[in-house]
Amino acid sequence: MSYQDVIQQARHKTEPLKSDRFIKISQREDRCDLPRSAWTPLLENSYLQTWKGIVLNKGVMEIALYPMLLYELRPQTIIEIGALNGGSAIWLTDHLELFRIEGKVYSMDIDLSLLDENAKSDGRVDFLQGDSNNIATTFTPQMLAKLPHPWLVIEDAHVNLVAVLEYFHQQGLMSGDYLIVEDTNPLMWGYWKDNWDDADNIEEGGRKLEDLRSWLKNHEDEYLVDTYYHDIYGYNGSKNWNSILKKA
Ligand SMILES: C[S@@+](CC[C@H](N)C(=O)[O-])C[C@H]1O[C@@H](n2cnc3c(N)ncnc32)[C@H](O)[C@@H]1O
């Protein structure tokens, strides 16, 4: 393959109208080209990963993929469910600025005491205290109606997934918007099972892929899997399996 071929292929794959890029969930398999054994070294020190000194809990592949998606999508609104330390919200905001996108990040967590002081004082992100079990209280229909599109909605709290997806579906996801369900890869939940204390979180998290598939069964023409971002590092080669979705 020559450099010319590389450039041509990238152009072909990123072309939004190419019919082989966006496909229905029924055409996707629940598997990954990276073996189970790869996930231990990828996860065991992942708590050391930071952005501007703040914990950034994204997979290494996602760290490469998100900037490409942000540049392509140019989201005006990013909604993140699960802020943790605030690192990912600041990282997303920095990329919006880097790409001169006039967007805003809203990041919700049930426990905002986890936020890093530098994330809190940054001032560009709206950090919202809220519970995925009662999402409409934080992201009210009135608030959502005012948020400009395109949206990027990222579910990263691993709680009440189906209801959260249905809520954003009902309350305004539009054609062209993206929905990402983080951590659908069941192999990584196998690792967390042996290394994490919160049993409820592990059980619900381990079901994310199944839950997503069951929800998508009723929406399979509306939310298409973006195979470009999924398969760059091998089939489903990241923490996210079949969960980078574009609204048709
Ligand atoms: C995986 S972490 C988020 C990681 C972060 N987005 C990042 O990439 O750095 C999950 C977060 O979800 C939050 N969480 C757990 N249960 C929740 C709930 N019921 N509602 C909202 N947030 C919740 C936890 O407090 C935790 O901070």
Residue 6, classified by CB atoms within 10 Å of its CB into exposed (0-12), middle (13-18) or buried (19+), is: exposed
Ligand 1 surroundings by CB, under 6 angstroms: 56-58, 80, 82-84, 87-88, 108-111, 114, 131-133, 156-157, 159
Residue matched to tokens 């959502």: 144
In a domain, 8, yes or no: no
What is the pLDDT of the chain when averaged over all its residues? 94
Percent of the chain with pLDDT over 90: 83
In a domain, 210, yes or no: yes
From residue 181, give the alpha-carbon distance in Å to each of 111, 186, 209: 20, 13, 9
pLDDT digit string (tens) for 114-161? 999 999 999 999 999 999 999 999 999 999 999 999 999 999 999 999
Identify each DSSP E strand in 89-230 by its residue range: 104-109, 126-129, 151-155, 178-181, 223-226
pLDDT score at 15: 61
Amino acid type, 193: K
Answer with the residue of higher pLDDT: 127 or 19: 127
135: left (phi over 0), alpha (psi -120 to 50) or beta: alpha
**pLDDT higher than threshold 70 for residue 91:** yes
pLDDT score at 144: 98
HEC string of 193-235 equals HHHCCCHHHHHHHHCHHHHHHHHHHCCCCCEEEEHHHHCCCCC
Q: Return d(Cα 157, Cα 60) in angstroms, integer.
A: 19
**Average pLDDT of the segment spanning 84-95:** 98
**pLDDT higher than threshold 70 for residue 12:** no
Residue 100, classified by CB atoms within 10 Å of its CB into exposed (0-12), middle (13-18) or buried (19+), is: exposed
pLDDT class for 198, splitting at 50, 70, 90?
confident
**pLDDT higher than threshold 90 for residue 71:** yes
Mutate to test the pocket of ligand 1, among 84, 118, 159, 208 (most ligand atoms within 8 A of CB): 84
Range of the domain at 167: 48-247
In a domain, 121, yes or no: yes
Which residues does residue 105 pair with via DSSP β-bridges, in sequence order? Answer: 78
In a domain, 43, yes or no: no
What is the domain count for the chain? 1
242: CATH: 3.40.50.150
Q: Return d(Cα 70, Cα 59) in angstroms, integer.
A: 16
From residue 160, give the alpha-carbon distance in Å to each of 157, 230, 245: 9, 24, 18
**Average pLDDT of the segment spanning 152-175:** 98
pLDDT score at 197: 81
Give the range among 11-15, 192-196, 222-226, 244-248 with minimum mean pLDDT: 11-15
Answer with the residue of higher pLDDT: 12 or 124: 124
Q: Return d(Cα 158, Cα 211) in angstroms, integer.
A: 11
In a domain, 39, yes or no: no
In a domain, 157, yes or no: yes
Token pair listed for 183: 């951590």
| Interval between CA 80 and ligand 1 midpoint (Å) | 9
**Average pLDDT of the segment spanning 236-244:** 97
**Minimal-distance CA residue to ligand 1 atom 7:** 57
In a domain, 132, yes or no: yes
